[in-house]
Amino acid sequence: MESIWITDVSPRDGLQNQPKLLSTGDKLALIGLLVAAGLRRVEVTSFVSPKAVPQMADAADLLSAVIGQYPQLQPTVLVPNLKGLERACLAGAGEISVVLAATETMNRKNINQGLADATRNCQDTVRAAKAMGMRTRAYLAVAFDCPFEGATPVPTLMALAQQMLVAQVDEIVIADTIGSATPGRVRDCLRLLGMAIPMNQLAMHFHDTRGLATANAWAALEAGVRRFDASTGGLGGCPFAPGAAGNLATEDLVLMAQGSGFQTNIDLGGLLDVIEFAQSKIDRPLGGRSHSWLALQKLKGDLEARLLFPG
């Protein structure tokens, strides 16, 4: 059975824009539940300015605690620049991600840099991380559409991806930041990207703004992608897409993949425990499109439920 690899981003991308601040202990408990559900790669935090993103102010303490308590986990963290990388290194990071928006305007709105300067910043950060012995990921944000400039041309993505490969990045994450992708566009994009980038170095990061995240993930699977970001319960959202439903839900991706013959080694019942805990902490309901059905199946305990939730 062929496997897919999922990085759960709920502790970072999922929580960063939540108005209610969680304690370090609550975040650590959330990550522990993800580990118990079978996740082995989790984006645990980001080393951004605490003033800009108060939710991530405890990044160093949280990462150190995660490394100490969950040795089976491969934690990854987001860093915005060399200063963030230095902080992450001191906290013990072994894998970092950088974010490069694919358009001039998005970079200026997000980090007050133009595209050329943002690209150099990401390249410099990746090179420095590699020199420290870290694994690296590079997000290409607004990969399908920019809220300010419209559709992102695939040749632009290809050029940016190749520049990150020159910096020896390990993984390139194609990010549908505002959730505007469709399966046909995903297929066409990956057909072209696959000509320039090894498919085993590509990952996909979808948002479910228009209800198509799982369908888009299937299109990526058919194109040969085997690495995905997802967020349990669909926790998250993009501040540039008002009303966005959040990230592709990990439970939706796992249910779709396992039902289609792929192995994930992730327990759906454990993901339901994560959702229950997370929504109790942020004081609002969570859950992907399959959540209600999965919860009902687990409650019923019938044959189909035993296949979904073994043991």
Half-sphere exposure of 263 (CA within 13 A, CB side): 4
Residues 6+ apart with CB under 8 A from 37: 232, 266, 267, 269, 270, 271, 273, 274
Bridge partners of 41? 74
Element (DSSP H or E) covering residue 154: helix 154-166
Examine the residue annotation and report whether 122 is marked as an active-site residue of this protein.
no
Q: 119 near 79, Cβ under 8 Å?
A: no
Tokens read off for 297: 């199946």
**Structural domain count of the chain:** 1
Predicted local confidence at residue 245, as pLDDT: 63
**Please, what are the averages of pLDDT over each run of 10 residues along the chain (311 residues)?**
96 93 98 98 96 95 98 97 98 98 94 96 98 98 95 96 97 96 98 93 96 97 98 81 75 96 95 96 93 89 67 60
Predicted local confidence at residue 277, as pLDDT: 97
Predicted local confidence at residue 310, as pLDDT: 73
Element (DSSP H or E) covering residue 35: helix 24-36
CATH of the domain at 119: 3.20.20.70
d(C-alpha 159, C-alpha 157), whole Å: 5
Write down the catalytic residue from 89, 146, 189, 238.
238
d(C-alpha 83, C-alpha 48), whole Å: 9
Residues 6+ apart with CB under 8 A from 279: 233, 285, 286, 287
What radius of gyration, in Å, describes the C-alpha atoms of the chain?
18
User: Interhelix angle for 213-223 vs 183-193, to 10°?
Assistant: 30
Predicted local confidence at residue 36, as pLDDT: 97
Q: Is 43 helix (H, G, I), strand (E, B) or coil?
A: strand
Note down the domain range covering 95: 5-308
Predicted local confidence at residue 243, as pLDDT: 54
Predicted local confidence at residue 298, as pLDDT: 86
Predicted local confidence at residue 146, as pLDDT: 95
